[in-house]
Chains A and B, each alone.
Chain A
Amino acid sequence: NAGVTQTPKFRVLKTGQSMTLLCAQDMNHEYMYWYRQDPGMGLRLIHYSVGEGTTAKGEVPDGYNVSRLKKQNFLLGLESAAPSQTSVYFCASRTATAGVGDTQYFGPGTRLTVL
């Protein structure tokens, strides 16, 4: 049981390049999230999904796109990377069960630098 995994762990891009970050979970969770974390800014929600085939915008969605074609995977895409997107990106998954069993699990993070 690997939990939540993220690929890649590190990446350096040049301005204007594109890339896709992959998040995978093996816990059969309905909800999945993408956050970015910048110093002093906490975790900011980019996009999220409440189930396979669905996505929704979070707090800071501009410049990013997402897809959830399979329940276990949540992809985050940067079409034209900008230096302002330099950050640590965390993926998380969460059960759909409201109540005491509601837990969100985070992946190890992807450190992205845009030059």
Chain B
Amino acid sequence: QQPVQSPQAVILREGEDAVINCSSSKALYSVHWYRQKHGEAPVFLMILLKGGEQKGHEKISASFNEKKQQSSLYLTASQLSYSGTYFCGTVGSSNTGKLIFGQGTTLQVKP
């Protein structure tokens, strides 16, 4: 039931791009994306609702393919501040309120 994220870890140089994928085996109502810095609480980035929409937040955007039950997070022209662990959280199609997180993708951006 836990969504699967890939890759598990990414190392980038400043200015490079990255894609983080989130895949579920169940039908989804929405997908949430969060970033967590070491020793801190996760911070909300964006939510995507079923309908295949794509959203953006600064140079970070995401897409949601409802039919494939997949979401992708796109980080373009990465900055040092993008380093951290990224989590996707999924809400099932019945929207019971239950939010289940993937295992996380660790992103390290080097100068």
Q: Residues of A with Cβ closer than 8 Å to B? A: 31, 33, 35, 40-45, 48, 50, 56, 58-59, 90, 94, 96, 98-100, 102-109
Q: How far is the CA of A43 from the CA of B32 in the complex (A)?
A: 13
Q: How far is the CA of A107 from the CA of B34 in the complex (A)?
A: 14
Query: Beyond A31-B97, A45-B98, is A98–B42 a contact (Cβ under 8 Å)?
Result: no
Would you call A42 and B103 a contact (CB within 8 A)? yes
Q: Across chains A and B, which 4 residue pairs bring their CB atoms closest together, nearest first?
A: A42-B103, A106-B41, A43-B101, A50-B97
Query: Beyond A33-B99, A56-B98, A94-B99, is A106–B42 a contact (Cβ under 8 Å)?
Result: yes
Nearest CB on B from A83, distance (A) = 22
**Listed stretches B10-18, B43-51, B58-66, B75-83; interface member:** B43-51
Residue in A31, A48, A59, A90 whose CB lies within 8 Å of B42: A90
Would you call B103 and A40 a contact (CB within 8 A)? yes
* Chain A to chain B contacts (Cβ below 8 Å), 11 pairs: A35-B101, A43-B42, A43-B87, A43-B104, A48-B97, A48-B99, A90-B41, A98-B30, A100-B47, A103-B44, A105-B44
